[in-house]
Amino acid sequence: MPGTVRPDTQLRRFPNTEALNEALAAEITASLDHRLRAGRSASLVVAGGRSPVAVFEQLSVMALDWSRVWVTLTDERWVRSSSSDSNEHLVREHLLRNAAEKAHFVGLKTDAPDPEAGAAASWAGIAKLPRPFDYVLLGMGDDGHTASLFPDSPALGVALDAQQPPGCVGMMAAVAPFARLSLNLSALLDSRHIALLIIGSGKWVTYERACAAGPIAQMPVRALLRQQRVPVSVYWAP
């Protein structure tokens, strides 16, 4: 029913972040390995931020044919890739090392002056990845945003329109210090599985609000929780 969370959403609660990180890294590895064993390349799409760092570090040492894995981002701040504010920088520092150093990475940032100008070129690079994406790892902000789909962005309506073709869209938020580029909803849903990673009691309260009735534009993560196309797992620890 419209306005309700899909009934098969898998909610996985853990006693601590260590247990969560171990389980999530194992699930991602198994998902990618399943695709690789079928004789295909695999694709992993990840969010930035602090929450997935420990998962990245566990993934980096997993036994996997990383030379056949493609990695990209759900969203990016429009800053230099060498900046500590860059999601690409975060992924290179914590995931693309050890065994995972052999993975192929496609970033979102281009030389364009702003995300709107760079969106088409960014998507052209990502569109070369194996699709549907095998695994998409997302986070959620206290305001209910996911990727860089912010509730107060002027471009949110277009970004959440599932009838739009998969692509990238420039996003802004009043509380975010940088212009952003994000995969739109159609791109995020062009996947085999989505995991939503949330840590802490505050994020749990936000998640419960997102599961309640209310406009999707008010809490864009609702678009993922209510859609019927892709299985979703929610990983939470206090």
Q: What is the pLDDT of residues 152-172, one digit of tens each?
A: 899 999 999 999 999 999 998
pLDDT computed for residue 6 by the predictor: 79
| Fold classification of 10-237 (topology level) | Rossmann fold (3.40.50)
Contacts of 145 (CB under 8 A, 6+ apart): 151, 173, 219, 220, 221
45 pLDDT more than 50: yes
**pLDDT band with cut points at 50, 70 and 90 for residue 176:** low
Q: What pLDDT is stored for residue 3 in this prediction?
A: 64
pLDDT in tens, 115-149: 999 999 999 999 989 999 999 999 999 999 999 99
Place 4 in a pLDDT band, splitting at 50, 70 and 90. confident
Residues 70-97 have pLDDT tens digits of 999 999 999 999 999 999 999 999 999 9
pTM reported for the whole predicted model: 0.96
What is the percent of the chain with per-residue pLDDT over 90, rounded to a whole number?
93
Give the mean model confidence (pLDDT) for residues 178-194.
Answer: 97
Better-scored residue on pLDDT, 199 or 176? 199
Share of the chain above pLDDT 70, in %: 98
For all residues of the chain together, what is the average pLDDT? 95
Domain boundaries, the chain: 10-237
